[in-house]
Structure 1
Amino acid sequence: MIPAKNRAFHLPPELNASVPPERRGINRDHVKMMVLDRKTGMYEHDHFYNIDRHLRPGDLIVLNNSRTIPAVLSASLKRSFITIVDKVEIRLARRKGEGVWDALIVSDKAKAGDILEFSDHLKAAILHIDKNKPLQTIKFSQTGGELFNSIYELGEPVRYEYIQTPWSLDYYQTVYATNPGSVEMPSAGRAFTWELLFKLQKKGIRIAFLQLHTGLSYLLDDKWIMNPAENSEEYDIPEATLQAIVQTKSEGGRVIAAGTTVVRALETAAAQVKRKGWTNLYIHSDFKLKAVDGIITGMHEPEASHLDMLSAFVKSEYLMRSYQDAISKEYLWHEFGDMNLII
C-alpha cells in the first residue's frame, strides 16, 4: 500500500477529463500513454496507438468484455399504495441473483417493504434497509433479458461529479464489450480500437477475454467510504483464456492485464483455483502477483485504492515520480483521460 504521505500529489481540476476523446477531436486510441518500467522506474511518453512498440510477440493482453449498463434510475417511492416520494434516484451497485440487486437508494425515507415504481411495467420491492450501510437490496418485478431491456430503456450511465454533460451510454463502452452487467465502465480498455487490436495480433501479441462486472464505487456522499475488501464483484474467466495464460507463461511471454478489474479476476483465480465466482481481493504493495506481469490502466486520484494495486507492480516512489511528470505534461485523468502502461 502506498502511504498517504507518499501519494499526496495535487491534481489540478482542469486535468479531470470531462469530455470523451472523440468529442475532443481525436480517436480513442490517440490519447497519451506513459510507459513505466517496473524494475528501473524509468518512463517515457507516447500515444496509446503505439502500444505495440512496447510489447513483444508472445505477450498476452487480457481484456474485460463486460458491457456497461445505464445504472442510474429514477422511481417513485410507495408504501401501501401511497406515494411517499415522487422521485427517488436509484443507483444499481451489483447483481446478486435473478432480479435481485444491491443498490444505492438516494433517500432517507425508504423502508423495507416499500415499492420503487420505475414505470408502468417495472417495479422493485425493497427487501432490506440498513442505515449504517450505503447499499440496500431490492428485487425487481422482472428478470433476465426483460429486466435488462427495461434498464436500458429507463436508465442513464453513472456520471461523476467532474462530468457536467450527460454523455450517451455509447461513450461508456469499450468497442469489444458484449456481456451487460458493469455499472461503471471497465475504463482501462476504452482506448482500444478494432484497428489497434488487429495490429497487435498481426505482431504476434495474443488477445484474450474475461468478464468481471464492475460494482458501484461512486456513492455520492463522502460519509460512505467503501473499503476495497467490501467491493465484491462477479467474474467469469473462460477456459480458453486460462489456457492462453498458461501457454504464454510457459513460452516466456508476459500477461498484460487491461485494467484493475482484470488483475482482480486473474489473481483471485490464481489464489482460489476458481474460474468463476466473486472477488473482493484487495491488492497492495505487499501482494505477490502470480498471474499478471503488467497492467494497462488509466490515471488515478491520490485517494484511489487503485494506486495501492499499482504499488504491487512498481515501487511507490517510481509511480509517484512518474505521476508528477504526467501532471506537468498535462495528462488527463479518469475514464475519458490518458493511459499508463506498466511493464
Structure 2
Amino acid sequence: MKLSDFDYQLPEELIAQIPAEPRDSSRLMVLHRDKGSIEHRIFRQIIEYLQPKDLLVLNNTRVIPARFFAKKGTSTIEVFLLKKAENDVWECMVKPGKKVKPGDLLTFEGFTARCLDRTDDGTRILRFDIPDDKLLTYGEAPLPPYVHNKVSLERYQTVYAKVDGAVAAPTAGLHFTEQLIQRIKERGVQITEITLHVGIGTFRPVKTENIAEHKIHSESYEISSETLSLISQSKAIGGRVIAVGTTVVRALEEYARSGKVKGHTSLFIYPPFEFRIVDALVTNFHLPKSTLLMLVSAFAGYDLIVRAYQEAIKERYRFYSFGDAMLIL
C-alpha cells in the first residue's frame, strides 16, 4: 500500500483541544468487523460490549514532564526529552533545530545543558548539569503540537499510569475512569497491564510513498508473566484479548513474534498483517498518513476504516489525542 492511501482531509475544528469531562463522556464509535457495521455510542457504554471471559489489557506507562524552553543568545529553543541515554544525558528534539549545534550551551531557568552531538535523525544529545530527578521537576506536559490549549500533566495521564517513561500518553486509555474500571471488573472481565513507553515514533511522520520502506523508532516494553498467564487463560475459555491502545497491540504482537517479554520493539504494523494475540481494540482517531492509522487499518480492514473515518467527520467526532474513541470488535 502507498502512503497516499492513508491520507484524508480533516476540518481543523474537529481536532480536540481539551479532553472530555468526565473522561468517559467522550463518544464511542463501535466497528463490527464481521458485519462491517458501525454504531455510535458514549464511551462509558463500552461495558455493554465486554464479556466475563474477556481480558482487557492496559498500558500503565506514565508521561514524564518532557517539555522545556531554553535560551541561546536571544533565541528561544523548545527542548523535548525523548529518551534517556545515560545519567543526565538525553536524546532530545529541539526547535528550531538549526539553532543548536554540537558544543552549544543552552540556558534554562535554574540549569544549563550542553549539546554533545546531532543524530542521523536530527535529534540532539544534551548533557544537563542537574540530576534527572531534579530536571523533571522543571518540565511541562509534552502535549502534541496540534493541541494549543494548556492542559495539566495529570490530565494528560491515564488514571492507571504508574511507570515513568513515556513522552506522550497512550491516549486510548484517557477515556477510562476509576469508576468505569471498577464496573468492568464487577462484570467479571479480567484486567491486566503491560508497559510500553511511548516515544519518538509517535511524532515522526511517514515520508516514504512506499510505506514498507519506513523505519519506525523503537520503544521499550515489558510484559509480566502474570499478563501472559491471563492471556492464555482467556484464550483457553473462548474469551477475547482486548487491547486498550495501539501501544498494547505493538507490545503483545512483538512478543508473539520474538518471544521476548522485555526489550525494545520497532514492529511496524500495516496491511496486511496477521494478528496473533489481539482480538479487539480500543483506539482513538489518528492523524492522516500516520503509522497508527496504518495499524488500525490492518486490524479493522482498510475499507472499513476509510468508511468509519468518513462517518466520524460527517458526525462531527473529535479527533486525535483528546478526541473521541473507537472500539473495533
Return the TM-score normalized by structure 1: 0.87
Q: Which amino acid aligns with 2:57?
A: V
CA distance in structure 2 between the partners assigned to 1:218 and 1:270 by the alignment: 22
Report deviation, 1:274.
0.8
Instruction: Check whether the contact 1:102–1:137 (CA below 8 A) recurs between aligned residues.
Output: yes
1:85 Cα deviation after fit: 5.5
Provide the rounded CA distance (Å) in 1 between the counterparts of 2:214 and 2:230: 29
| Whole-angstrom distance in 2 between the partners of 1:180 and 1:200 | 26
Q: Say whether the 8 Å CA contact 2:244–2:281 is kept in structure 1.
A: yes
Q: Distance in 1 between matches of 2:219 and 2:201?
A: 11
Asked whether the equivalents of residues 160 and 218 of structure 1 are also in contact (C-alpha less than 8 Å), the reply is no
SS in 2 for 1:332: coil
Q: Report the Cα distance in structure 2 between the residues aligned to 1:301 and 1:283, rounded to whole angstroms.
A: 16
The residue number in structure 2 matching 1:288 is 274
Kept in 2: contact 1:11–1:301 (CA 8 A): no
What corresponds to 1:63 in structure 2?
58
User: Quick check: 1:35–1:342 contact (8 Å CA) kept in 2?
Assistant: yes
Q: SS at 2:221's partner residue?
A: strand
Task: List gaps (5 residues or longer) in structure 2.
Answer: none
Alignment of 1:65-144 (within 5 A): 65-77=60-72, 84=73, 87-106=76-95, 107-120=97-110, 122-130=111-119, 133-143=121-131
Q: How many angstroms apart in 2 are the aligned matches of 1:248 and 1:305?
A: 29
Match of 2:15 in 1: 16
**Cα distance in 1 for residues equivalent to 2:207 and 2:6:** 21
Distance 2:17 2:208 in 1: 24
Gaps of 5+ in 1: 78-83
Tell me what 1:298 maps to.
284
Output the CA distance in 2 between the equivalents of 1:62 and 1:185: 16
Contact 1:19 1:336 in 2 (8 A): yes
SS at match of 2:150: coil
Shift of 1:54: 0.9
Matching residue of 1:81: none
Which digits, 9 at most, give the CA deviation of each residue in 1:133-157, with x for residues without a partner? 32122233444xxx23431x21112
User: Is the alpha carbon distance of 1:104 and 1:6 closer, same or farther for their aligned partners in structure 2, counting shifts above 3 Å?
Assistant: closer
Q: For the residues of structure 1 that align with 2:171 and 2:114, how far apart are their CA atoms?
A: 32
Pick closer, same or farther for the CA change 1:141–1:239 going to 2, 3 Å: farther
Aligned equivalent of 1:242:
228
Q: How many residues end up aligned between the 2 structures?
A: 326
Question: Aligned partners of 2:232 and 2:207: how far apart in 1?
Answer: 43
Map 1:216-227 → 2, pairs under 5 A: 216-217=200-201
CA RMSD of aligned residues (A): 2.5
Q: Distance in 2 between matches of 1:142 and 1:201?
A: 43
Superposed displacement of residue 292, structure 1: 0.9
Change (3 A) 1:206 1:97: farther
Paired residue for 2:135?
150
Please give the TM-score of this superposition, normalised by the length of structure 2.
0.91
The answer on whether the counterparts of 1:228 and 1:280 sit within 8 Å (CA) in structure 2 is no
- Distance in 1 (CA, whole Å) between partners of 2:261 and 2:205 is 35
Aligned sequence identity (%): 37
1:224 and 1:124 map into 2 onto residues whose CA distance is 34
